[in-house]
Amino acid sequence: MTDSLTALVSRFGVTAPAWLWLLPLALLPLAASAQRRIPVPSLAMVPADGLSRLVDAVLTLAGVAAIGFLVLALAGPHLVGENLVRTGEGAQISLLIDRSGSMNETFAGRQPSGPEESKAAASRRILEGFVGRRAHDLVAVSAFSTSPMAVLPMTDRHDAVRAAIRAIDRPGLEATNVARGLGLALAQFGPGAPQAARVLLLVSDGAAVIDRRVQPLLREEFAKTHPTLYWLFLRTAGSPGLGDRPGGEDTPQAAPERHLDLFFKSLGVPYRAFEAESAQAVEEAIREIDRQERKPISYTERRPQRDLTGFAYGLAALAMGLLIAGKLAETDLATRTSASRPAASRETRRAA
Amino acid sequence: MTGDILYRLRGPAAGPGPGAHRSREIGGIGVFRDQVPFWRHPDARRIDLRATLRDPFEGTVVRRFEERRALEVWALVDLSASMRFRGTGVTWDLVTELCIALARSATRIGDAFGLIGCGAGPDLMLPASRRRGTADVVADRLAAIRPRGTSADGLLTAASSLAGRRKLVMVVSDFRLPEALIGALFARLQGHDVVPVAIEDGALDEGLPAFGLIELEDLEGGGRRRVMMRPSLRTRWLAREAERRESFRRLALRHGRPPYRLADRFDGDDFSRHLLWTAA
């Protein structure tokens, strides 16, 4: 309790501290009040009264609070943003999504028409459900076509993630550059939480050659972050599968998917490839991943700075409301306002 | 309304000269008092022939007459700041009116009127005088002064200065003083006929509001206090005031007359009735 309080106090800050020099003004209500003072011969004649003392204390405090909170509100109070460490069950998931032009096609390799959906739309629909299901997953979204795009850093804000995923069925562009995409997706894991389960989910409908010069770098990165790698291969009907050897020369250029698969297998990280030829197959693959990746995860979350100005103004208004109520409840003794000497005394003087 | 205040001393007067009040002095003219043998009062002009002839021992009998004497009337006025109170009536105006009426009434029948005003120390001193203009002087002096004493301890010293012959002393105050001070004051005025005049105000009595918030400030610098008025508190307040008044009344009765309650407006006839009624 006290710990959380001190934590709260330590996070407190103001934008314009110079205003706080006015804070001593808050002591004014201790010396003066807005009520009209009525002089009486002696205060000893007033019976001691607990309720009156309470009302007095409340009104005085309200006066102090009204001025104090107004000054504080002028200074712009806020709670400074902070990083919180949380623990949950889930995984750090880095989604790497292919945005190449072929993703716009259906699984049959045609432009979608009528009730058919494109590969991008299907993966969008399924990934959306996947993200919503596990509350404590940290998800990062990256996309790639010719060059990689960092869509969303690692976060537990699933709304943002879902919005990022919703955006992936916008028409894609150009070619497929897996190597740079992988580099970005790996970088998304960041340095924190080494014990957490890390999942790199690559969604693509094809592959490209990974330059031999880039391969050692990628290997190194994989060794460092050690993620579990899932490749959701959205296979267009009729195109070669991962295990299919090409008819001619077995070079990466001739069968990029097969060689990418071989490259992944040689990385030394847990790896699994799903060849999905239809939307149902994609869904099954996702469910499989969901089932497997459940481990305790601790992650840091950045809480934004919280503005307390409205709160301070509210408290000041509340205090002023009390003061106004006190002022409205004010009454008076049945005193005579005229200060002139009574006429009778003049009469008696004349008589004298 | 003549406005004259009629008063009578409790017991015989012992003024400096002849006047309007009964005394123990024996003089040549006045109300018949008694008959004594000639040797006790050898005044040949007052020989009662009829009684002398009727006396079986053939003694000579002389008539004696009561002499009427004058009186000194003093007003001992509390000048503490609480006398500045304005309620339904204005306290200080009431005091002024009372003193002027007393001065006028006293000098009209040949009595002397003196005035002492005291805050923490004696501030106003008007020696007793039988001059006809005394009432004007009193009015001027009282109009010039503002009560601002923080206490009324000066009353004690003033009371000591009122030594000598028996006088009629009006102690004019709101008597919101420590009971010990009032007791000591009355004790010092033991030899005189003391009439306590308690200035009160309807605004602090029946005129108290039943509901509301009042911020009260002590006129004698005792601070301020917010009071949440409500019927129960008002009842308690009035009960306390009644209790204070009763204990003060008992204290005053122990030293002579009951106090006169002067509230809101000054009524000379009412005051006269009080003075005559309590003189017996």
Put simply, whether B95 touches A (Cβ < 8 Å) is: no
- pLDDT of A352 > 50? The answer is no
B195 and B260 in contact (C-beta within 8 Å)? yes
B56 and B96 in contact (C-beta within 8 Å)? no
Radius of gyration of chain A (CA): 36
Measured between beta carbons, which residues in chain A are less than 8 angstroms from residue B204?
40-41, 45, 333
A155 and A142 in contact (C-beta within 8 Å)? no
Put simply, whether B217 touches A (Cβ < 8 Å) is: yes
How many other C-beta atoms lie within 10 A of the C-beta of residue A290?
15
In 3D, which of B148, B205, B202, B196 has the Cα closest to residue B174?
B196
pLDDT value of residue B53: 93
Contact A45 B215 (CB under 8 A): no
Tokens of A292: 């497997």
CA distances to B3, B88, B266, B272 from A347, in Å: 10, 20, 13, 18
Length of chain A measured in residues: 352
Q: Residue B77 — φ and ψ, nearest 5°?
A: -105, 130
- pLDDT of B93 > 80? The answer is yes
3-state secondary structure of A92: strand
Put simply, whether B62 touches A (Cβ < 8 Å) is: no
In 3D, which of B108, B152, B144 has the Cα closest to residue B126?
B144
3-state secondary structure of A34: coil
The Cα A246–Cα A240 span in angstroms is 8
List, as ranges, residues 64-93 from B with C-beta within 8 Å of A.
82-91, 93
Contact A56 B226 (CB under 8 A): yes
What whole-number percentage of chain A has pLDDT above 70? Answer: 84
pLDDT value of residue A174: 67
Q: Residue A198 — φ and ψ, nearest 5°?
A: -115, 135
Put simply, whether B58 touches A (Cβ < 8 Å) is: no
Taking CA atoms, what residue in B is nearest to A335? B87
Per-domain residue ranges of chain A: 2-36+49-81+306-331, 84-303
pLDDT value of residue A340: 43
pLDDT value of residue B113: 92
Tokens of B261: 């309650």
**pLDDT tens per residue across span A120-137:** 777 777 777 777 676 677
Tokens of A137: 């997953």
Distance, in angstroms, between A50 CA and closest chain B CA? Answer: 10
pLDDT value of residue A308: 87
The Cα A317–Cα B197 span in angstroms is 51
Q: Which residue has the higher pLDDT, B249 or A208?
A: B249
Lowest mean pLDDT among A118-127, B71-80, B115-124: A118-127
Distance, in angstroms, between A74 CA and closest chain B CA? Answer: 31
Q: Burial-class residue A41 by CB neighbours within 10 Å (0-12, 13-18, 19+).
A: buried
Classify domain A84-303 by CATH number.
3.40.50.410
Which helix (DSSP H) or strand (DSSP E) does residue A73 occupy?
helix A50-75
Per-domain residue ranges of chain B: 18-69, 72-201+254-272
The Cα B43–Cα B168 span in angstroms is 33
Taking CA atoms, what residue in A is nearest to B199? A41
Distance, in angstroms, between A20 CA and closest chain B CA? Answer: 30
Measured between beta carbons, which residues in chain B are less than 8 angstroms from residue A41?
82-83, 85, 91, 174, 176, 204, 219-220
Spell out which chain A residues touch chain B, with contact meaning CB-CB distance below 8 angstroms: 33, 35-47, 49, 51-52, 55-56, 59, 326, 329-336, 339, 341-342, 344-345, 347-349, 351-352
Task: Calculate the average pLDDT of chain B.
Answer: 87
Measured between beta carbons, which residues in chain A are less than 8 angstroms from residue B215?
33, 35-38, 330
Residue carrying structure tokens 């105006």: B93
Put simply, whether B3 touches A (Cβ < 8 Å) is: yes
Q: Which residue has the higher pLDDT, B237 or A339?
A: B237
- pLDDT of A351 > 60? The answer is no
pLDDT value of residue A348: 46
pLDDT value of residue A194: 61
Q: Which of A36, A37, A41 sits opposite B82 (nearest CB)?
A: A41
Contact A332 B214 (CB under 8 A): yes
pLDDT value of residue A347: 46
Residue carrying structure tokens 């790497």: A96
CA distances to A91, A94, A166, B114 from A131, in Å: 11, 11, 12, 103
Q: Which residue has the higher pLDDT, A158 or A67?
A: A67
Q: What torsion, rounded to 10 degrees, do the Cα atoms B169, B175, B177, B180 define?
A: 50
- pLDDT of B152 > 60? The answer is yes
Tokens of A30: 């201790």
Measured between beta carbons, which residues in chain B are less than 8 angstroms from residue A334?
87-88, 202-203, 207, 209
By DSSP bridging, strand B61-69 and strand A148-155 are unpaired
In the structure, what pLDDT confidence band is assigned to residue A337 with cuts at 50, 70 and 90? Answer: very low
Q: Which residue has the higher pLDDT, A139 or A4?
A: A139
pLDDT value of residue B210: 85
Q: What does the pLDDT average to over A69-92?
A: 82
Task: Calculate the average pLDDT of chain A.
Answer: 78
pLDDT value of residue A1: 60
Q: Which of A43, A56, A348 sits opposite B104 (nearest CB)?
A: A348
B109 and B20 in contact (C-beta within 8 Å)? yes
3-state secondary structure of A71: helix
Q: Which of B89, B215, B229 sits opposite A33 (nearest CB)?
A: B215
Distance, in angstroms, between B187 CA and closest chain A CA? Answer: 24
Those residues with Cβ within 8 angstroms of residue A304's Cβ, 6 or more apart along the chain or in another chain: A81
Those residues with Cβ within 8 angstroms of residue B9's Cβ, 6 or more apart along the chain or in another chain: B21, B71, B166, B168, B193, B279
Those residues with Cβ within 8 angstroms of residue B41's Cβ, 6 or more apart along the chain or in another chain: B26, B62, B64
Residue carrying structure tokens 């197959």: A281
**pLDDT tens per residue across span A128-180:** 777 767 667 778 888 887 788 888 888 877 888 888 888 877 766 666 777 88
Q: Which residue has the higher pLDDT, A170 or B264?
A: B264
In the structure, what pLDDT confidence band is assigned to residue A195 with cuts at 50, 70 and 90? Answer: low
How many other C-beta atoms lie within 10 A of the C-beta of residue B185?
24
Put simply, whether B115 touches A (Cβ < 8 Å) is: no
- Specify which of A95-99, A150-154, A172-176, A320-324 reaches the highest per-range mean pLDDT: A320-324
Q: Which residue has the higher pLDDT, B153 or B52?
A: B52
Instruction: State the DSSP code for A352.
Output: -
Tokens of A239: 């195109």
3-state secondary structure of A70: helix
By DSSP bridging, strand A37-40 and strand A148-155 are unpaired
Between A and B, how many CB-CB pairs are < 8 A?
A: 159
In the structure, what pLDDT confidence band is assigned to residue B18 with cuts at 50, 70 and 90? Answer: confident
The Cα B109–Cα B196 span in angstroms is 22
pLDDT value of residue B122: 75
Report how many helices (DSSP H) and strands (DSSP E) chain A contains, helices first. Answer: 11, 12
Tokens of B57: 């021992």
- pLDDT of A343 > 60? The answer is no
- pLDDT of A349 > 60? The answer is no
Query: ipTM score of the complex?
Result: 0.75
- pLDDT of B25 > 90? The answer is no
- pLDDT of A64 > 90? The answer is yes
Tokens of B53: 């002839």
Distance, in angstroms, between B208 CA and closest chain A CA? Answer: 6
Give the largest Cα separation in chain A, rounded.
144
Lowest mean pLDDT among A96-105, B158-167, B169-178, B196-205: A96-105
- pLDDT of A270 > 80? The answer is yes
Contact A333 B87 (CB under 8 A): yes
CA distances to A172, A210, B168 from A216, in Å: 29, 10, 124
Q: Residue A180 — φ and ψ, nearest 5°?
A: -70, -35
pLDDT value of residue A318: 94
CA distances to B214, B226, B233, B240 from B207, in Å: 14, 18, 14, 15
Contact B215 A347 (CB under 8 A): no
pLDDT value of residue B90: 87
Those residues with Cβ within 8 angstroms of residue B131's Cβ, 6 or more apart along the chain or in another chain: B107
Best probe of the A interface among B99, B134, B227, B264, by most A CBs < 10 A, is: B227
**pLDDT tens per residue across span B42-77:** 888 889 999 999 989 888 999 988 888 888 899 999
Length of chain B measured in residues: 280
Q: What does the pLDDT average to over B172-183?
A: 88
pLDDT value of residue B1: 39
Lowest mean pLDDT among A196-200, A250-254, A313-317: A250-254
CATH number of B72-201+254-272, picked from 3.40.50.300, 1.10.260.40, 3.40.50.1000, 3.40.50.410 = 3.40.50.410
pTM of the shown model: 0.64
Best probe of the A interface among B142, B179, B226, by most A CBs < 10 A, is: B226
Measured between beta carbons, which residues in chain B are less than 8 angstroms from residue A45?
176, 204, 237, 240-241, 244
